[in-house]
């Protein structure tokens, strides 16, 4: 009997030791004051995480639940909350992974273009939001949203006009600009020609000369034209796509245009997850 109590004591001590280490690692780790934009390697699709400390904005979720393991790699261990999810448009390579995200993480709000679209995954995505009572929003064009200390999101497309472009869902993509100090980023989803035309007509100055561009539509030639790329003039361009994808993305024209403009090009098929960090003044790729 005495032996048994002894072994219980030992187990209890081991348990306490682990608890102590766990608390240390969480509370005494080096604080990371930088802002990160991760273009997550989720295969053929899009999933971009904007993260500052324990504040996250997730834009799209990729084609399957791989996004979960990618989030696991970059988010703080103790953080099971994502402050905001933005769905660019309801195509499966953008929405599918978000369902599992909604199931596993506490999501505080969801922004999307509000379009009616009849697909199983999109229905399940909306059902999950309703089930969890997560507030949703269809952001208006030019709506400005402040996030954490000095972050700023400016929505550029499509406002509440998504239904008008439903022939090509890519043109209903939520497009927004993100600012943090002198760092700026443009996330255009799968925005194609019509969508770019609309943005250029309304808000040409807001897309001009950004630091970071998530290249539209996985590097398709419809997403990047000579006109829009010369306005955007990005210093860093990231393309989210899978190796040997069936669409033969990225298109040659796109790569040539980006090279001509002099942008540093990173691709998730070659570089895996891309981590762009900034302190508001300088930026660098890890």
Phi, psi of 74 (to 5 degrees): -110, -20
- Which listed residue (96, 173, 268, 273) binds another protein by CB under 8 A? 96
Nearer CB in complex with another protein: 128/190: 128
Phi, psi of 230 (to 5 degrees): -75, -25
Sign of CA dihedral 237, 243, 249, 254: positive
Q: Does 64 bind another protein (CB under 8 A)?
A: yes
Nearer CB in complex with another protein: 63/159: 63
- Which listed residue (33, 80, 163, 248) binds another protein by CB under 8 A? 80
Sign of CA dihedral 106, 140, 228, 95: positive
Max CA pair span of the chain: 82
Q: Does 71 bind another protein (CB under 8 A)?
A: yes
CA angle 79, 80, 85 (to 5 degrees): 110
Q: Does 131 bind another protein (CB under 8 A)?
A: no
Q: Give the single-character DSSP code of 43.
A: S
- Which listed residue (12, 13, 15, 282) binds another protein by CB under 8 A? 15
Structure tokens at 100: 């599992």
> At closest approach, how far in Å is the CB of 9 from another protein?
13
Q: How far is residue 223's CA from residue 189's CA, in Å, rounded to a whole number?
A: 9
Q: Does 18 bind another protein (CB under 8 A)?
A: yes
* Nearest C-alpha neighbor of 217 from the set 180, 245, 182: 245
Q: Does 104 bind another protein (CB under 8 A)?
A: yes
Q: Give the single-character DSSP code of 165.
A: G
Nearer CB in complex with another protein: 23/144: 23
> At closest approach, how far in Å is the CB of 69 from another protein?
4
Q: What are the residues binding another protein (CB under 8 A)?
A: 1, 4, 7, 14-15, 18-19, 21-23, 25-26, 63-66, 68-69, 71-72, 75, 77-78, 80, 96, 99, 103-105, 120-121, 124, 127
């Amino acid at each position: 009997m005495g032996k048994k109590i002894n072994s219980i004591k030992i187990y209890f001590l081991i348990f306490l030791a682990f608890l102590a280490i766990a608390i240390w690692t969480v509370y005494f780790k080096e604080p990371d004051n930088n802002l990160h934009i991760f273009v997550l390697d989720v295969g053929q699709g899009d999933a971009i995480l904007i993260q500052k400390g324990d504040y996250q904005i997730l834009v799209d979720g990729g084609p399957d639940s791989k996004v979960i393991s990618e989030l696991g790699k970059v988010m703080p261990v103790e953080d099971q909350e994502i402050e905001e999810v933005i769905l660019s448009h309801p195509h499966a390579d953008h929405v599918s992974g978000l369902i599992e995200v909604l199931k596993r993480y506490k999501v505080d709000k969801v922004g999307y273009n509000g379009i009616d679209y009849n697909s199983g995954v999109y229905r399940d995505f909306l059902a999950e939001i309703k089930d969890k009572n997560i507030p949703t929003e269809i952001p208006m064009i030019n709506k400005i949203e402040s996030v954490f200390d000095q972050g700023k999101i400016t929505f550029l497309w499509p406002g509440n006009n998504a239904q008008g472009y439903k022939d090509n869902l890519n043109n209903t993509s939520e497009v927004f600009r993100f600012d943090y100090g002198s760092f700026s980023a443009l996330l255009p989803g799968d925005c194609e020609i019509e969508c770019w035309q609309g943005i250029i007509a309304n808000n040409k100055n807001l897309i001009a000369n950004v630091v970071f561009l998530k290249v539209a539509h996985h590097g398709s030639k419809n997403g990047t034209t000579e006109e829009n790329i010369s306005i955007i003039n990005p210093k860093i361009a990231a393309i989210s796509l899978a190796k040997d994808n069936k669409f033969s993305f990225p298109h040659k024209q796109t790569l040539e245009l980006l090279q001509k403009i002099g942008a540093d090009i990173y691709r998730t098929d070659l570089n895996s997850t891309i981590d762009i960090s900034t302190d508001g003044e300088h930026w660098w790729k890890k």
